[in-house]
Amino acid sequence: MDDAARMDDIEETTVTSATACSWLGIDRSTLTRWVQAGHITPAFKYPGSNGAYLFERAEVERIQRERTAATAR
């Protein structure tokens, strides 16, 4: 598989930090704390100390469902 095909696969199955925050209704600083605490695991981190995270779409959707269920109680 070439690099372009790999990137297409990654883009189909992952979401950016901004998208994850939007779907979860949280601030980026909260997402960063969740990563540090192990509540959500990035699928990929770009190089560098400020490298962006990508998250598995399925994991973000799972957390979104859990948060929705918790607020419905």
Element (H, E) at 55: strand 53-56
Report if residue 4 sits inside a domain.
Answer: no
Report if residue 16 sits inside a domain.
Answer: yes
Q: Give me the helices (H) in 1-73, please.
A: 3-13, 17-24, 28-37, 57-72
23-37: pLDDT as tens digits: 999 999 999 999 999
What's the pTM? 0.79
CATH number of the domain that residue 31 is part of: 1.10.1660.10
Range of the domain at 14: 10-72
- Report the domain count for the chain: 1
Q: Is 53 buried (19+), middle (13-18) or exposed (0-12) by CB count in 10 A? A: buried
List 53's β-bridge partners, or say none: 45
The reported pLDDT for the residue numbered 50 is 86
First to last CA, the chain: 46
Per-residue pLDDT tens, the chain, 73 aa: give them. Answer: 666 666 566 668 999 999 999 999 999 999 999 999 999 999 999 999 888 999 999 999 999 999 999 888 7
Report if residue 43 sits inside a domain.
Answer: yes
The reported pLDDT for the residue numbered 18 is 97
